[in-house]
Structure 1
Amino acid sequence: MPRNCILRAEYGYQGIVMTDWVTPMTGDARSAHRDSQAQYVAAAGGDLFMPGNKGDYDNLLQGIDSGAVTLEQVKINASRVVRTVRALTQE
């Protein structure tokens, strides 16, 4: 079960969950975000991993291959992003 189930199940949050721009900190041994990877963000229920690049895409595919995140979870995350964008563009 995704780690953000409190946000969604208990509080009924329907929007997207996006990371902060942690990429510059991922290589810094002192950073709390040094192990941030797209596959783990997606597995935890995060919808957008910012800023996002080809390495993040490749990491997500590796996560699907290894079982760290399921393709179904990625589809759920992507559908929330699409639904949110559609809602914002129709206002």
Structure 2
Amino acid sequence: MGYQGIYRYYDKNGEISRETYELQSGFSEGLSAVLDKETGKYGYADEKGNMVISPTFDYAERFQDGYAVVKQIIPNENGIRTVKVGVIKNSLMR
């Protein structure tokens, strides 16, 4: 049997924070995709937790070479969903 590591991240109050874990584990090129619990959409935050790209996406990949793939799901009246796929530029890169 091997040992499985347990990853814990703590917020500024010393409490275990799953959100901090998700933010810290998802960084690429200075940004991390973050789920906005109010809207259920993804945006991108910087290393300080500041939202840099507004949460408007249903799916958001990591940045690579300055770009990331994002998706928006659009339901229609027939119950069929249309998925719009796009590419966004990392606003931190010049």
TM-score (structure 1 length as normaliser): 0.27
Highest relative contact order (Cα 8 Å, sep 6+), 1 or 2?
1
Give the structure with the larger helix fraction.
1
TM-score (structure 2 length as normaliser): 0.27
Give the structure with the larger strand fraction.
2
Larger radius of gyration between Structure 1 and Structure 2: 2
